[in-house]
Amino acid sequence: MADYKAPLRDMRFVLNEVFEVATTWAQLPALADTVDAETVEAILEEAGKVTAKSIAPLSRGGDEQGCRWDNTAVFTPDGFPQAYKTYAEGGWVGVGGDPAFGGMGMPKAVSAQVEEMINSSSLAFGLYPMLTSGACVSINTHASESLKAAYLPKMYSGEWAGSMCLTEAHAGTDLGMIRTKAEPQADGSYTVSGTKIFITGGEHDLTDNIIHLVLAKLPDAPAGPKGISLFLVPKFMVNTDGSLGARNAVSCGSIEHKMGIQASATCVMNFDEAVGYLVGEPNRGLAAMFTMMNYERLGVGIQGLASGERSYQNAIEYARDRLQSRAPTGAQAKDKMADPIIVHPDVRRMLLTMKAANEGGRAFSTYVATQLDIAKFSDDAAARERADNLVALLTPVAKAFLSDLGLETTVLGQQVFGGHGYIREWGQEQLVRDVRITQIYEGTNGIQALDLMGRKIVGSGGAFYTLFADEIRAFIASAGAELAEFTKPLGAAVDNLDELTAWVLDRAKANPNEIGAASVEYLHAFGYMAYAYMWARMAKAALGKESQEDFYASKLGTARFYFARLLPRIHSLSASVKAGSESLFLLDEALF
């Protein structure tokens, strides 16, 4: 496996040249005095070093060794505790955290780059700080001031970790079916009882305490999802002076034996009248949890991107070194017995598909992160509302499309290696196994597609979509003739999605099955169109600079490949959507 190198040049390009984020930050008073170019550059540089040197070398050994469960205790692989300490001491857990409680206060557009680096280094390792950061978002947004003061500083510092406890054995996506109960106590606390499964980082040896955010139902709660509350349940009780007290009645019953992310502890967690504290309002727990989950869903998409980036770095090094056959046009390396496989058209197809997906995904995730920053920090109500609506529309696309392409790119990277890609020592098969979970957790990609199609498109009457489409058309209108090779096919892709959106909105009026039948292919058509917008913006930033740096020539060549070979996928996807739902219901259940 190639040594991981953070793609800092491309991150700088996206932040500074494509989106000019410093201009956006200057218009957000909460960020204007916090973020500057020098600080961001230092953060990216240092994050690149710590992830490449301290964490990436642990990835394969962590996969081989995995986590170990012993009588409710969980032990992470060798090297993980020390690496986590190094990561935490650098302030990386709290990079996007509230400065009032010890966080760095960086915008999401910056923390998104750090997330990519940590997950490229080791997806399993990256899950621990990711869950902690997400839990902090919910606590900071919804918890009382006393809970914030007691828990956030230690979580931002990395001394304590966080987990998100939603799923139960009988209740996966349908959280309204959960059975975990919370009983109010005289002192204002609650006792929480129930069992949760698939809990990432529910127990481990990386931190002194773990703070669980647990969905549960109060005794008088209404049925279904409207009766869910959110509780903060610490592994160890916290004394008034901030020191740790007695062990709470929460324990790990076992850890799952999984396809991938072996170094991430995926736990069964038992709560046996554990002491907990209400976060937010009673029966409004899903709203509080979704504050965390929207950040996490973008983060999961970034995990797909990160895995694809690591796979590409491995594959391009291998393709330059591996000698097999001669180029179709004749020998290229005449002093060698064969040519490097990068000369072959199909290998180039695979490498360019990976490169285009990764760089398009980096731009798109940064775009969504920037909208999150505007929604959070802007003092302009109209700007906040617009950004909120774009985030609502694009979050399911970011989660599902980036992770779907993450699997495609890791499989392509494995394929570049041929038989060696199937062998564990090269690392490519681990990336395939690890990234597979990203299509499943934080809401399966089918659920993301249904959310996009049902809630965000049909639910808004197409208004959220129009907001995004109008922005793209404004970009096309403002572009010069020199960008026509990119803006013309981009405009056609928007027109196609306009038509597809109108088709589904019309058909769904008479047949609700059309929403679910169209959703996955629609999301993918949306994703390819959104990436085309990103690639057009990147082409605009690179055009005319080809002679200055090879980077820009590479960027433009990849953009042309994207428009020529990947964007046309929208046509088959659109045909599938317009085939309608009828063929899905031709078979009675017994005929399957």
Q: What is the pLDDT of residue 172?
A: 74
Torsion-angle region of 484 (φ positive above 0: left; ψ -120 to 50: alpha; else: beta):
alpha
DSSP characters over 202-239: SS-SSSSEEEEEEEEB-TTPPSGGGG-EEEEEESEEE-
In the chain, where the domains are located: 444-584
d(CA 227, CA 516): 26
Determine if the pTM surpasses 0.95: yes
User: Which helix (H) or strand (E) element contains residue 355?
Assistant: helix 345-377
d(CA 426, CA 60): 9
d(CA 565, CA 557): 12
Which range, of 166-175, 275-284, 531-540, 553-562, averages the lowest pLDDT?
166-175
d(CA 211, CA 161): 6
Helix (H/G/I), strand (E/B), else coil: 72: coil
User: Which helix (H) or strand (E) element contains residue 445?
Assistant: helix 445-450
Q: What is the pLDDT of residue 90?
A: 95
Instruction: Say which DSSP state 427 is in.
Output: S
Instruction: Say which DSSP state 566 is in.
Output: I
Q: What is the pLDDT of residue 69?
A: 98
> Which residue in 281, 261, 147 sits closest to 201, CA to CA?
261
Cβ atoms 195, 299 nearer than 8 A: no
Q: What is the pLDDT of residue 175?
A: 79
Residue 203 Cα distances to 62, 88, 250, 252, 486, angstroms: 17, 18, 10, 6, 49
d(CA 116, CA 113): 5
Residue 295: pLDDT over 80: no
Mean predicted confidence (pLDDT) in 535-545: 98
d(CA 240, CA 248): 16
How confident is residue 568, by pLDDT bands cut at 50, 70 and 90?
A: very high
Residue 486: pLDDT over 80: yes
User: pLDDT for 198-237, tens place per residue?
Assistant: 999 999 999 999 999 999 999 999 988 899 999 999 999 9
- Active centre residues (catalytic): 442
How confident is residue 407, by pLDDT bands cut at 50, 70 and 90?
A: very high
User: pLDDT for 44-99, tens place per residue?
Assistant: 999 999 999 999 999 999 999 999 999 999 999 999 999 999 999 999 999 999 99
d(CA 413, CA 478): 38
Q: What is the pLDDT of residue 477?
A: 97
Helices marked H in 206-344 — which ranges? 285-321
Cβ atoms 226, 283 nearer than 8 A: yes
Residue 359: pLDDT over 90: yes
